[in-house]
Amino acid sequence: MKKTSTRLADGRELVYYDLRDDTVRDAVDRRPLERTVTTSEVRRDPLLGDSVAVASHRQGRTYHPPADECPLCPSAGERLSEIPDSSYDVVVFENRFPSLAGDSGRCEVVCFTSDHNASFADLSEEQAGLVLDAWTDRTSELSHLPSVEQVFCFENRGAEIGVTLGHPHGQIYAYPFTTPRTALMLRQAAAHKEATGGENLFDAVLGEELAGERVVLEGEHWAAFVPYAAHWPYEVHLYPKRRVPDLLGLDEAARTEFPQVYLELLRRFDRIFGIGEPPTPYIAAWHQAPFGQLEDFEGVGRDDFALHLELFTIRRTSGKLKFLAGSESGMNVFINDVPPERAAQRLREVAS
């Protein structure tokens, strides 16, 4: 992998990740952009103890542009985009309309390919491996920013999810706090460790799932399963078999196998609802340990956390979506219409 860092016309950082070491990236952003002004602010809810990002400047962000005006395609002639060069393998740049900025963290966009009509599932194993390298590098870089406590790499795919740009891309949020979801997992891990005399919760969950009926696919270094208490109709958790706290901890064997397993999972997701159905909308989310000493979680440290990827769709059956209504949105109590065992069986049935 070759990494080339440059700056856009308004001062935002852009990084090219290339498969070839001899690739030259010297294109200049020719757009007449003024410096980006953001209004991002993090407010803490005194009742729930969580945080909300208030970012009113995002109201003006790009919304469903036509394909020939896509800001994530390479620049071509006088059609100038966020990527100054005429081609790229993988690109990461600071979001022009960030939810988090400055002392409130940072938001980046990850473009998986220059092909506007592709999806992550269309990538080759080599290309998917490069995306993994980019996620890992950004996690490392962002973790050293003084305002950042947790790094979250994710992909929203599909208009049903709320995606406003059709180009295959993901995002990275660098939070100035530990997110509520991660805090819950750390508290559960601490309680389990104390109750069992030192057993790791993530290891226990993975061991139980591998011995059960909800395994979707398994490699030498990775395992994918539908969890016992899945919140979503089709939800898969992908774990490295050797526990590590973050992407930086993956060894070469796990990094090599990841594209094979992950691409197969994504392709199965597109076949869940049958041939001829629209592409399956999904969210793919990396769960990584926060950086720091975790003083608020007595009894556990970073090494007690297990890196894993959560992949789920909000489509519950052909032509029908799972909406977060009263119980889910009001009380955070999910009701799942698809038994996890049936979901796992279906995901095994659609193997290529």
Is residue 227 very low, low, confident or very high in pLDDT (cuts 50, 70, 90)? Answer: very high
Q: What is the pLDDT of residue 185?
A: 97
Q: What is the pLDDT of residue 276?
A: 78
This prediction's pTM:
0.96
Q: How far is 323 from 148, CA to CA, in rounded Å? A: 32
Q: How far is 70 from 63, CA to CA, in rounded Å? A: 10
Q: How far is 250 from 252, CA to CA, in rounded Å? A: 7
Per-residue pLDDT tens digits for 107-153: 999 999 999 999 999 999 999 999 999 999 999 999 999 999 999 99
Is residue 277 very low, low, confident or very high in pLDDT (cuts 50, 70, 90)? Answer: confident
42 Cα distance to chain centroid: 21
Report the DSSP pairing between strands 320-321 and 106-111. unpaired
Q: What is the pLDDT of residue 60?
A: 64
Name the residues annotated as catalytic.
169
- Please say if the pLDDT value at position 19 is more than 70: yes
Helix/strand/coil for 273: coil
Would you call 291 exposed, middle or buried from its count of C-beta atoms within 10 A (0-12, 13-18, 19+)? buried
Q: How far is 127 from 118, CA to CA, in rounded Å? A: 12
Q: How far is 42 from 46, CA to CA, in rounded Å? A: 13
Per-residue pLDDT tens digits for 56-114: 878 766 767 888 899 999 999 999 999 999 999 999 999 999 999 989 999 999 999 99
Indicate the angle between helix axes 125-143 and 252-269, nearest 10 degrees. 120
Q: How far is 300 from 177, CA to CA, in rounded Å? A: 17
Q: What is the pLDDT of residue 35?
A: 83
**Mean pLDDT, rounded, for 29-55:** 90
Report the DSSP pairing between strands 282-287 and 308-313. antiparallel
